[in-house]
Amino acid sequence: MSRTPASPVARSDLRGRTALVTGASDGVGVEIARGLAAAGADLVLPVRNRAKGERAIESIRATVPGARVSLRDLDLARLETVRALADELRAERGPLDILVLNAGIVLLGDPERHVSVDGFELHFQTNFLGHFALTTALLPLLEERRARVAVQLSLAAGVSRVLWDDLQSERHYRPLRAYGASKVALGLFGYELARRSRARGSDVTVGFSHPGVVPGTAIAPAMRARGGNSAGRALSERLGGTPAQAAQCALLAATAPAEEAPSFFGPSGVFHFGGPAAPQRPYRRLADPADCARLWGLAERLLGERIGTTAP
């Protein structure tokens, strides 16, 4: 089925630039990658499932013939793969102009607390800590190219908070709370990355987005298997957006002029569930300097304990 590439980068010329998009094997992620490819960017797509990745490339090339795509291996829930990808890209010393932190999991409907092979709660590692490890490891490449880091948040980040005394929901687990906290953590990281980049005189800039509500994806599989709340499902289907529409927000975060960053984009429709991408008011709790610095320090400590390294 033919699909039109998302539009916000239509005015951008990304020829000669390279964009890495996490979570681009399906859903909103593949539409972000499609939009970047349509603007001329070379793509690096690190995926957990190679077969899905190949299908995503076929889909992108069906609408963007000749798209240049490099498929790589990455499972954010396995820090060894994060480290391997970062080592590989640094050894190649290829360009990296845009980094889109889009991958994520939502385990709504599953009451069991899941833990990664590295010992972290699965939302916490997949949505936040893995992205933290990847981004900080790639900072030398990003700084060389005056790169943009686009941070994909969610509506949940606007109403959630990090529970500092139960960071990984060890004492009390609820999937929505764990998911929301992981997205808040990702946002705090993004703001601290922007602050540190300015302080170092780095030209790395940061943009933020959220996709609204996107019924046409495979998120929250346990809840979908049960059928979920019928009234809520009908509301989200009526007011939400398609993956291609939702991708527009991240595309703006990735390509808006640097003087507008840190910027925040989301759907402009009712409840911000769907509608055209537009600037949004940033979530206030994500910009607290003390929380941003505290979260960064915790992430460094946790990574140091697991893999013996710290972020720049």
The question of whether 191 is a catalytic residue gets the answer: no
State how far the Cα of 89 lies from the Cα of 84, in Å rounded to an integer: 9
Tell me the torsion sign for CA atoms 233, 234, 239, 245.
positive
- Angle at Cα 233 formed by Cα 229 and Cα 236, nearest 5°? 140
Tell how far CA 280 is from the center of its chain.
17
On whether the CB atoms of residues 267 and 241 are closer than 8 A, the answer is: yes
Question: If you search the block for the tokens 């569930």, which residue do you land on?
Answer: 273
CA-to-CA separations, 101 to 173, 227, 232, 299, in angstroms, rounded = 25, 29, 28, 16
Tell me the HSE value of 195 on the side-chain side, using a 13 A CA sphere: 15
State how far the Cα of 179 lies from the Cα of 5, in Å rounded to an integer: 29
H/E element holding 274? none
Tell me the torsion sign for CA atoms 34, 239, 127, 80.
negative
Residues annotated catalytic, as ranges: 179
